[in-house]
Amino acid sequence: MTSEHVPARPSERGLVSPVAPARALGWVTAPEWTAPAASAVDRAPLATLEPLQTPVDEGLIEVAADLPPGKALDLGCGSGQNAIWLAERGWVVTAVDLSAGALAEARSAAGAAGVTIVWELADITAWQPASRYDLVVSTFALPPRGMGRGRMLDMAAAAVAPGGSILVSEFDVALAREGRMAEKYLVSTEEVERHLDGFRVNRSRTRLARHRHGYEEIVVPVATVVATRRTDLRSPW
């Protein structure tokens, strides 16, 4: 990802349909959630719908529930929903994004929520943290393959303190096999795990989930990897 690259939104990444019932996709749903069938609202023209607020990532809620507050890094923070959620729960958060518009929206939302966050306007494939973090989060922020993805994942892993955790969630490569999305935008759990040398992988799975962005709500397979850095590694900082 070069300095002019901004991670593509779902509609820009080539998803064929805004909403797809889980039964039509052929993927196994997570036991805690059953995808709804398409409704009249699902098929309504976008102009008739209100913009949908991007929710806090489900994987982040699960991970943070078991962690004491500490220092957190949100890579590709977008409108800041994950960073704000963490800050409201006592985390000291640094959030990084390339989009000045997204960061302005995030700052406004953080002000309304009454929390303080360190916002960094930077390309996450080139940005380097000055310290390590107890939790590093990247949700739907990976650049396409060939545009710094490996470098960004290596940076994210290196930014985790010994005993700290990393969460990566991204659209799963299964979308390419179904012809619904270009493969270069997608990820497999195996690809993420290759960058986690020195970590214990706690969770590595693909699940069906609702994904909201702008006027869209889609049902897609999401690859999620959660890992903890071993405590017997020497820190470079």
Query: What's the rounded Cα separation, in Å, for the pair 136 and 157?
Result: 8
Residue 221 has pLDDT above 90, yes or no: yes
What residues contact residue 204 under an 8 Å CB cut-off, 6+ apart?
189, 192, 193, 224, 225, 226
200 has which bridge partners? Answer: 228
- Residues 135 and 60: their CA atoms lie apart, in Å, by 10
Range with the poorest average pLDDT among 130-139, 140-149, 208-217, 224-233? 208-217
Please report the pLDDT score of residue 50 as a whole number.
52
Q: Pairing state of beta strands 118-121 and 92-97?
A: parallel
pLDDT value of residue 66:
85
* Residue whose entry in the numeric block shows the structure tokens 């049902």: 219
The overall average pLDDT reported for the chain is 81
Tokens of 233: 């590694």
| Sign of the alpha-carbon torsion through 94, 98, 104, 109 | negative
Among the ranges given (19-28, 85-94, 215-224), the one the predictor scored with the smallest mean pLDDT: 19-28
Higher per-residue confidence, 11 vs 172: 172
Query: What are the pLDDT digits (tens) for 107-150?
Result: 999 999 999 999 999 999 999 999 999 999 999 999 998 879 99
Higher pLDDT, 220 or 159: 159
- pLDDT band at 52; cut points 50, 70, 90: low
Predicted confidence (pLDDT) per residue in 15-24, tens digit: 443 333 333 3
pLDDT at 232 over 90: no
- pLDDT-derived band of residue 181, with 50, 70 and 90 as boundaries? confident
Domains of the chain: 10-225 (3.40.50.150)
What's the order of all strands across the beta sheet hosting 199-213? 118-121, 92-97, 71-75, 133-139, 160-171, 216-229, 199-213
Residue 178 confidence (pLDDT): 81
